[in-house]
A and B are shown apart, each in its own frame.
Chain A
Amino acid sequence: MSAKNSVNISFSVNGENFDDVTVPTRQHLADYLRSQGLTGTHLGCEQGACGACTIELDGVAVRSCLVLASQANGSSITTVEGFDDEIMEKVKNNFLKHNAFQCGFCSPGMLMTTKEIISSKKKLSRDEIRAEISGNYCRCTGYQSIVDAIEESINEIN
């Protein structure tokens, strides 16, 4: 890779520092993360429509297919592999309890959106939960069990 086609950046992922790493300038963040073995971040459409690749970038849920890796310079990133705090453990247990996933391909993005919902501290109705997750596509469940899991998580945590 010639110099003009790459850039050196530093950031952290799930608390691990990536210092002065070389990334292709055109590579999106999801591809970079996956190339590092962080394959929990999934790619469904690569145009920001399906939500599967949603990650947390400096505290905000973003589509990692719409962010260039180079834009993550200086950022703190959380992916599904980094969900080990008490709150997300509760959320994951509720997803399991309600079978809020079948194939599991949408789950990392769905959990990331759920994290944002929980962080907002709002008591949401089922319809409001449905609106919040309407940017995350799931072909398997029909969404009802996901709404069940998020509803129970809100009641339990907030």
Chain B
Amino acid sequence: MDDIKVNQNPKLGSMDRPNSYIGRSLPRENAKKHLEGGGQFVDDLVLPRMLHVAFLRSPFAHAEMKSINVEVAKTSPGVFDVYTAKEIDEYCKPWVGTLGHLGEMRSPEQTPLAEKIVRWQGEPIAVVIANNRAQAEDALEVIEVDWEEKDAQVDMETALDDNAVVIHPELGNNLFWTRTVNQGDVNQAFKASHAVVETTLDFARHTGVTLESRGIVADWNKAEGKITIYHNGQAPHMMQHIIAKHLEVNEGLVRIVSRDVGGSFGIKVHVYPDEMAAAAISKKLGRPIKFIADRLESFTTDIHARCHKISGKLGVDKKGKILAMEINDLSGIGPFSMYPRTSAIETNQVLNLSGAPYIIPNYKAVGTVVFQNKTPMCQYRAVGHPIAVAITEALVDKAATKIGINLHEIRKKNFIPDNAYPNKTPSGVPLEDLSHQASMDKLLNMMNIDDIEKQKESNLAKGVLTGYGVIAMCEVTNPSPLFYGVGGAHISSQDGASIRLEGSGAIHLSSSITEQGQGTEAIMKQIAADQLGVSMDSVRVTLGDTDATPYGGGTWASRGAGIGGEAVLKAARTLKENILDIAAAIMQTDKNSLDVENNTVIRKNGGEGITLQQLAETVYYRGHELPKGTNPELLATASFLIEGIPFVFTNSAMGCKISIDQDTGIVKIDKFWAVEDCGTQINPKLVEEQIKGGVIQGIGGALFEECVYDDQGNMQNATMADYLVPMAYEMPDIIVDHVTTNSGRSIIGAKGAGEAGTGGAPAVIMNAINNALNQLGKEVVSQPITPEKILKALGKI
């Protein structure tokens, strides 16, 4: 990916000036450690007197523990102790996964270890503490449990039936949360429609499969009353609050350190029982405790995502103008709502986002979220987007086909025009600074649909089913306090940056945004160096340590560049002003005649300048040389948050061409195109990588990935050999381009870019497959779209 060719944002100055780094595809020099084996992941950490834990987990989806005997396990070689719920509960208060701003949510208290009833296969019930993980696992084998199996409520579709197994009897039924959105009058509008189309889509559960599993090293220091948690999470300050609250430690004495994180995708932003247990054990024993999930534990205890069945209906007039849309979504979240973000948000996003690119005057959406005896489900990359985009775009395709207009024409006819923002989604959520028209035009130029139509025809004659899809979507990024904070969660929507000039002339920057590989550190450096007028290699960055960074939300919902980046920009601008004030005093000249270039304060009209090192040495070591009253502040801190709207939306258009082997049902993705409008691109290469990686994750959900359960609630494919993820051979090259509409909410103008690929690919793949199958009058309505489902649709099996 090349650098941005033209100035993408006038507020950032010319790209021709020295030290212009915003908009350039600079390599991540700081990340080279990963190519040397020098990353520092949680499992790489060894502390003195550290003990390891392994958990005994429920083999059943729903059962009662009649008794448990850990005495033999306690005598197993290398074992320090074995605990059940009773011992852990003393050191960790229970939590509840509900929020207050979205109507009534009902989820019971959850403790680190289940005491009597287990509600999903994989729920922890006992923990062995031993000298190493192998010895801890040995001891698990000799814990005796007397189980009484109970009927499991596995199927979400029967969870609210009269004869359903009620997972939490105190709640009366399995309903967690429900919401209805009603704008206009859909019934009237459907009556007035020229054509009404309907469909029902299924989305299987899948999960994040981060290559590095979840992990924690908890280190309680009794002498200081302080706990340090090394954790591969995404939101250190959120975890600081959680640990303080539930372990009853002064929050100021909780330090969370997130060093290198081996992929997260939302999986690692939640509170997990086993991690809380590990922290509690450290506090109980006063020793460092390490827990690293193995792959089986990852599959059965990392949050799952999706698990939706959604029906939808779209009414259009005879020219294809959309008059009404109605959706009804059902989702199953396992036996508990996850803490602290809740498991309502995916469904909430489905309701918010469906139909978002289009003018739809009448809109009704109902979401129902139920408990079931499966692994807890919660927010994973592109929360809700795949479902919202797939149902919308499937209906739009159906309507186009029904009234006989092109797939792209119907979209263009219904887009909110690029010049009509601010605007709102059909559900009423504010939208700003989007470009569906320009993005679709760009996509169509890249795709050459006339040519694809010809190929479709000629391939059909040869027995090959070729199809294509085009979709448009909105992507939730840069959330404001209206996302979580308003509901009572201690999740910061504000982020901070602190930047200082050091005595050596080096710049040190710290930010509350964290790095999981997206390139946070690189873009922060680019923004700071660009705004200060210094070289990239003079900036050093600290992230992921609550003792060392400003307070803030961390990395999730594609908020790093747009929120954290703006804080860096503001802090860097303040520091530059301070530097120029001091330089003006030292150089006995007007501040406005000075600037900073290449680590030197220069006189704009020529003449000798002073280096930042010289300036810093004067301030720090020879302050007596400064004129009296000079402000010696070479440290600046700034914060930023989005105000007044829930999110800053990004938009995206995607297209793909696929072909189907009618004998095997295998889908080949011939081409995939994506156009993204994320506003200012700080590092275009890194943006492109977010799109490409995101698309492949979306293709995984569309074609391969599924947590398969039997009807007793046993997960059937909890290994990396059985759970299919996208591997290199099946994946296409992806062609990415951009439209740039800066966000008016910030100087930097950046919107997020991490969700669209994963949110949009399932829709465009499904539409392309159905575009191919429609030639034979067939369709698929269930993801992942496996070869088996295609062969069934084709009537071959």
Q: Mark B675-693, 1 if CB is under 8 A from A, else 0.
A: 0000000000110010011
A136 near B: Cβ within 8 Å? Answer: yes
Q: Which residues of B contact A27 (CB under 8 A)?
A: 134
Residue on B with the closest CB to A105?
B262
* Chain B CB within 8 A of A138 CB: yes
- B41 to A105, Cβ gap below 8 A? yes
The one of A26, A92, A106, A108 in contact with B32, judged by C-beta atoms closer than 8 angstroms, is A92
Per the bound structure, the CA–CA distance linking A34 and B211 in Å amounts to: 17
Given contacts A95-B35, A99-B28, contact A45 B265 (CB under 8 A): no
Residues of chain A lying within 8 A (CB to CB) of residue B34: 101, 103-105, 107
Given A40-B36, A107-B34, A139-B210, check contact A45 B720 (CB 8 Å). Answer: yes
The complex places the Cα of A52 from the Cα of B35 at a distance, in Å, of 13
Encode A15-46 as 1/0 by CB contact (under 8 A) with B: 00000000010110000001000111111111
Q: Which of B39, B518, B695 contacts A105 (CB 8 A)?
A: B39
Contact residues in B for A104 (Cβ distance below 8 Å): 31, 33-35, 39, 260, 262, 517
Tell me which residues across on chain B come within 8 A of A26, comparing CB atoms.
134
Tell me whether B696 is interfacial, beta carbon within 8 Å: yes
A64 within 8 A of B: no
1/0 contact string of B18-53 vs chain A (CB within 8 Å):
000000000111011111111101011000000000
User: Are B686 and A92 interface neighbours, CB within 8 A?
Assistant: no
The answer to whether B697 has its CB under 8 Å from any CB of chain A is yes
Pairwise interchain contact B518-A102, C-beta atoms closer than 8 A: yes
Q: B721 near A: Cβ within 8 Å?
A: yes
A148 to B719, CA, bound (A): 29
**Per DSSP, are chain B's interface residues mostly helix, strand or loop, or mixed?**
loop
Let me know if B31 and A106 touch, CB within 8 A: no
Cβ–Cβ contact B728 & A44, under 8 A = no
A142 x B295 contact (CB < 8 A): no
Count B interface residues, CB 8 Å: 54
Do B262 and A42 have beta carbons less than 8 Å apart? yes
Q: How large is the interface on A (under 10, 10 to 19, 20 to 34, 35 or more residues)?
A: 35 or more
Across the interface, name the chain B residue whose C-beta is closest to A146.
Answer: B728
| Of the residues A46, A92, A141, contact of B35 by C-beta under 8 Å | A92
Contact check, A47 vs B35: say whether CB atoms are below 8 A apart.
Answer: no
CB pair A80–B27 under 8 Å, yes or no, is no
A125 within 8 A of B: no
User: CB-CB contacts of B577-597 with A at 8 A, as 1s and 0s?
Assistant: 000000000000000000000
B residues sitting closer than 8 Å to A (CB atoms) are 27-29, 31-39, 41, 43-44, 134, 208-213, 260-263, 265, 294-295, 516-519, 685-686, 689, 692-697, 719-721, 725-729, 731, 733-734, 757
Residues of A in contact with B (beta carbons under 8 Å apart): 24, 26-27, 34, 38-47, 49-50, 52, 79-81, 83, 92, 95-97, 99, 101-108, 111, 126-127, 129-131, 133-147
7 pairs, CB–CB < 8 Å, chain A vs chain B: A47-B720, A92-B35, A99-B27, A99-B28, A99-B685, A103-B516, A141-B696
Seed contacts A49-B719, A137-B725, A147-B728; 18 additional CB < 8 Å A-B pairs = A39-B41, A40-B38, A45-B719, A49-B721, A80-B35, A83-B35, A96-B27, A99-B519, A99-B685, A104-B34, A104-B39, A137-B720, A139-B211, A139-B263, A139-B697, A141-B696, A143-B696, A143-B731
Question: Closest 10 A-B residue pairs measured CB to CB?
Answer: A40-B37, A104-B34, A102-B517, A103-B517, A105-B262, A142-B696, A80-B37, A49-B720, A39-B44, A134-B729
